[in-house]
Amino acid sequence: MTSFNPNESFITYGTYKPKENIDELFERLKKPKELKLEPRLTFLKVGTVSNVKGSAYMEYGNTKVMAQIEPPKELNKQSKKSDPLGVIVCSVKYAPFALDDVETINRKESFMSAALKKALGPVVCLNEFPNFQLEIKALVLDDDGCALSTAITCCGVALIDAGIPTYDLITASTVCLLKDIEFFNPSSDIEDLLHSLPCITEANGLEEHGIVVVASLSTGGQVSEFFQKGYIRSDTLERLCEHLLVINQRLLDTVRQVLIDKVKYHIAQEREQTAGDNNDIENA
């Protein structure tokens, strides 16, 4: 028989948040005046961390993500028997200062880690490193919306920097649909508003609303990851996906240019080193 301790509290405490009217929040949002299928202003840098196999840093507007690739590790014997191919392990973590609402960090990290693995699975040539595990890590430093799609693109660039065999380049983008308005590259305010909406059974009617994330490969238009939350009709969903593929293709131009500049930089360094060695031999 268990004894009751009056000093123990079985009440779970949390941060109090005043309930706000959804319509009032929507009116305060900045609405797009026209349809612009363009990515946000993007800053991308590869090789930002020196003590890992590959890394990349990406700023997608005000959203900032750091990605790094650990060297492949050999699997244990039981894992080798169950899966002869290579295995990828993906993890997404939020910096403590990245979100104001700390209570949602664990939920977002778990969901984004699973989505990141699904997106990068078709990209990596797992047959090139059998019986090895490849660990891919993403750290969200600032989340102003599109954190998942930014992490997917950033990790794809980090894989190239690490020299991991891949089938193609990958880019991703996000769209939110709310009250018949399409928010491409939505901010965190729009995403939070969508997550706070009631479920369909509680909503008035069947008004379309939701968030869609599409990750695609550069050639062939192959979609490696598709995530959708909310109620969106099939014809609307098809149109949104086509728009997101256009944004992915335009974002790909930035990714390619950054990787080309990185290769040119390494070639220039090798030429300088070769020229220096030749001068040393001639002087000797």
Residue 10 lies in a domain: no
Residue 99 lies in a domain: yes
Residue 7 lies in a domain: no
Distance, CA of 67 to CA of 48 (rounded, Å): 9
Residue-level pLDDT at 13 = 45
Please answer whether residues 152 and 116 qualify as being in contact, where contact means their C-beta atoms are separated by less than 8 angstroms: yes
Residue-level pLDDT at 198 = 64
The two tokens of residue 283 are 């002087």
User: Could you tell me which of 188, 158, 185 has the C-alpha nearest to residue 57?
Assistant: 158
CA separation, residue 240 to residues 35, 36, 174 (Å)? 12, 12, 9
Residue 2 lies in a domain: no
User: Could you tell me which of 152, 165, 130 has the C-alpha nearest to residue 60?
Assistant: 152
Question: Mean pLDDT in runs of 10 for the chain (284 residues)?
Answer: 48 48 67 86 91 93 95 74 78 88 83 94 89 92 94 96 92 92 90 72 63 89 88 92 94 93 87 72 62
Distance, CA of 32 to CA of 178 (rounded, Å): 12
The domain that holds 129 is classified in CATH as 3.30.230.70
Give the residue numbers spanning the domain of 204. 22-281
Contacts of 225 (CB under 8 A, 6+ apart): 115, 118, 119, 152, 172, 213, 214, 215
Residue 140 lies in a domain: yes
The two tokens of residue 268 are 């220039």
Residue 15 lies in a domain: no
Give the total number of structural domains in the chain: 1
Q: What is the pTM of this model?
A: 0.85
Residue-level pLDDT at 266 = 83
DSSP 236: H
User: Could you tell me which of 173, 195, 136, 160 has the C-alpha nearest to residue 61?
Assistant: 173
Distance, CA of 83 to CA of 233 (rounded, Å): 38
Residue-level pLDDT at 203 = 46
User: Could you tell me which of 214, 111, 109 has the C-alpha nearest to residue 170?
Assistant: 214
Which amino acid is present at 18? P
User: Could you tell me which of 144, 151, 78, 93 has the C-alpha nearest to residue 118?
Assistant: 151
The two tokens of residue 265 are 């930089």
Residue 215 lies in a domain: yes
Residue-level pLDDT at 44 = 95
